A and B are shown apart, each in its own frame.
Chain A
Amino acid sequence: DTGVSQDPRHKITKRGQNVTFRCDPISEHNRLYWYRQTLGQGPEFLTYFQNEAQLEKSRLLSDRFSAERPKGSFSTLEIQRTEQGDSAMYLCASSRGQEVAKNIQYFGAGTRLSVL
Chain B
Amino acid sequence: AQKVTQAQTEISVVEKEDVTLDCVYETRDTTYYLFWYKQPPSGELVFLIRRNSFDEQNEISGRYSWNFQKSTSSFNFTITASQVVDSAVYFCALSEADSGGYQKVTFGTGTKLQVIP
- Check A42/B108 contact, CB under 8 A, given A110-B44, A112-B43: yes
A40: nearest residue on chain B (CB-CB)? B109
Q: Give per-residue flags for A101-115: 1 if the beta carbon is below 8 A from chain B beta carbons, else 0.
A: 001111111101000
Residue of A48, A89, A106 touching B104 (CB-CB under 8 A)? A48
State how many angstroms separate the Cβ of B109 from the closest Cβ of chain A.
Answer: 5
A58: nearest residue on chain B (CB-CB)? B104
Residue of B4, B46, B52, B102 touching A55 (CB-CB under 8 A)? B102
Inter-chain contact A106/B47, CB cutoff 8 Å: yes
State how many angstroms separate the Cβ of B36 from the closest Cβ of chain A.
Answer: 12
Q: Give chain A residues whose Cβ lies under 8 Å from the Cβ of B101.
A: 97-100, 103
Inter-chain contact B102/A109, CB cutoff 8 Å: no
Asked whether B57 is an interface residue with its Cβ less than 8 Å from the other chain, the reply is: no
Inter-chain contact A109/B105, CB cutoff 8 Å: no
The 8 tightest CB contacts between A and B, nearest first, are: A42-B107, A107-B45, A98-B101, A109-B44, A109-B43, A110-B43, A43-B107, A42-B91
Which A residues lie at the B interface, using CB under 8 A?
3, 31, 33, 40-45, 48, 50, 55-56, 89, 91, 93, 97-100, 103-110, 112
